[in-house]
């Protein structure tokens, strides 16, 4: 399966030839629609829906069961093509991770074969993983990844939730600073994963071997086929086994992978904010007391 959040695109806006006959009203409307698409061919063609995430806002925190489901989707669907280069197995332990115990993390790491070495003879060798290891890449190198996926190397997903996101414009960018909106990456990934299956608008030409997706940031189509389908992953907690749920869960997991200390950062930021407010008040009162008897 060739998965990729932007590894390859081949979009084209079709140009229709001139017609000597007078165009009908329907043809004029179609030409106007095509011209509008051509004139505004900035991507994505559709803006991702803003979803409600447990980790949104100042007091947001990760939903551990959702992260575990997302990791299951990653392992069973995405891991065949996408790596997690910057995520170590030990990051999964405890409440700052995915809630796994030390024994569970060790068992998880041991399921993977890690290339290590060199040994005393100067040769590399394979060994079972340990918690300190990072997730191994599904391919030995970028060239092998590209060769196995039609010339497009699937990107690593470790930081994808922070690296991708549809622009919301200058006004919203300023407002997002105050509202602490940081979910553009998960919103985009959910939209992309659920955005397959729509018919391209009139005037949009989809290159052979690519798949139309109006939420793709780099064009009208991408090389990644629809990776999810209803029932492809079996959940043990009774959660819906739908494309929408899979997309939400894996997007939340990838947000955690990109920023595992988000909850701690928000907590520290809130504490520092309270301290600065109290400190400013004390400084104001001190200033008033020190200068109370001085003439102004």
SS (H, E, C) 65-95: HHHHHHHHHHHHHHCCCCCCCCCEHHHHECC
pLDDT, tens digit (0-9, with 9 covering 90-100), for 186-228 = 999 999 999 999 999 888 889 988 999 999 998 999 999 999 9
Q: In 3D, which of 154, 116, 114 has the Cα closest to residue 135?
A: 114
Structure tokens, 282: 């004390």
**Burial category of 60 from C-beta neighbours within 10 Å (exposed 0-12, middle 13-18, buried 19 and up):** middle
Whether the model clears a pTM of 0.75, i.e. scores above it, the answer is yes
pLDDT, tens digit (0-9, with 9 covering 90-100), for 23-66 = 566 555 544 544 444 444 578 889 999 999 999 988 899 999 99
Peptide bond into 56 cis (omega under 30): no
């Amino acid at each position: 399966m060739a998965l990729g959040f932007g590894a390859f695109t081949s979009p084209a806006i079709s140009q229709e030839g001139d017609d000597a006959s007078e165009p009908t009203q329907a043809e004029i409307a179609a030409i106007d629609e095509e011209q509008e698409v051509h004139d505004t061919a900035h991507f994505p063609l559709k803006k991702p829906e803003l979803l409600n995430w447990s980790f949104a806002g100042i007091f947001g925190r990760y939903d551990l069961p959702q992260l575990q489901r997302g990791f299951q989707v990653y392992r069973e669907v995405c891991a065949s093509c996408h790596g997690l280069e910057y995520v170590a197995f030990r990051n999964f332990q405890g409440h700052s991770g995915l809630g796994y115990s030390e024994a569970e993390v060790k068992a998880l790491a041991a399921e993977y074969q890690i290339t290590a070495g060199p040994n005393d003879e100067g040769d590399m060798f394979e060994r079972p993983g340990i918690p300190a290891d990072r997730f191994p890449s599904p391919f030995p190198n970028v060239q092998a990844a590209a060769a196995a996926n039609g010339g497009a190397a699937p990107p690593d997903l470790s930081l994808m939730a922070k690296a991708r996101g549809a622009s919301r414009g200058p006004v919203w960018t300023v407002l997002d600073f105050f509202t602490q909106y940081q979910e553009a990456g998960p919103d985009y990934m959910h939209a992309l994963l659920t955005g397959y299956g729509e018919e391209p608008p009139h005037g949009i030409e989809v290159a052979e071997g690519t798949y139309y997706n109006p939420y793709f940031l780099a064009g009208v189509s991408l090389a990644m086929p629809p990776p999810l389908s209803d029932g492809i992953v079996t959940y043990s907690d009774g959660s819906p086994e739908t494309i929408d749920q899979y997309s939400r869960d894996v997007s939340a997991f990838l947000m955690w992978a990109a920023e595992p200390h988000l909850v701690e950062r928000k907590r520290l930021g809130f504490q520092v904010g309270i301290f600065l407010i109290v400190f400013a008040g004390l400084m104001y009162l001190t200033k008033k007391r020190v200068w109370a008897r001085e003439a102004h």
